[in-house]
Amino acid sequence: PLTGLETIHHFDEMTGETHIEYKQDITKQIDTNKALHNTDYQKQGIKDEWMHAAHIPDIVQIQWMKKYGITDIYSEEFWPKIKKLL
């Protein structure tokens, strides 16, 4: 997949339990975030009164959904929680 997000299904035949596991290598995304932070893109955003804070990898969004109940990272309802996590 484009995002590199892997979804792995585990099924225990003895108990009938299903578990979903997610994996994603976010090294490139972290490197891109760091590079964008130190470019004219960032400086121009500040001049235009906005700032690109980060690209949040899919695996992190899934973790936030499970752990903190953040179901929509684009909803203003969750911004206070997201700002603390960034």
Query: How many domains does the chain contain in total?
Result: 1
Is 45 part of any domain?
Answer: yes
Q: What confidence score (pLDDT) does residue 1 get?
A: 55
7 in a structural domain: no
Asked if the structure places residue 37 within a domain, the reply is yes
List the chain pLDDT tens, one digit each, 86 residues.
577 899 999 999 999 999 999 999 998 888 888 887 777 777 777 778 777 777 889 999 999 999 999 999 889 999 999 989 98
In a domain, 12, yes or no: no
**70 inside domain:** yes
Tell me which residue has tokens 């225990």. Answer: 12
Tell me if 80 is assigned to some domain: yes
pTM of the predicted structure, to 2 decimals: 0.68
Q: CB–CB of 73/82 below 8 Å?
A: yes
Question: Quick check: is 62 in a domain?
Answer: yes
Its domain, for residue 80, covers 25-85
Residue 36 forms part of a structural domain = yes
Token pair in block for residue 69 = 């109940």
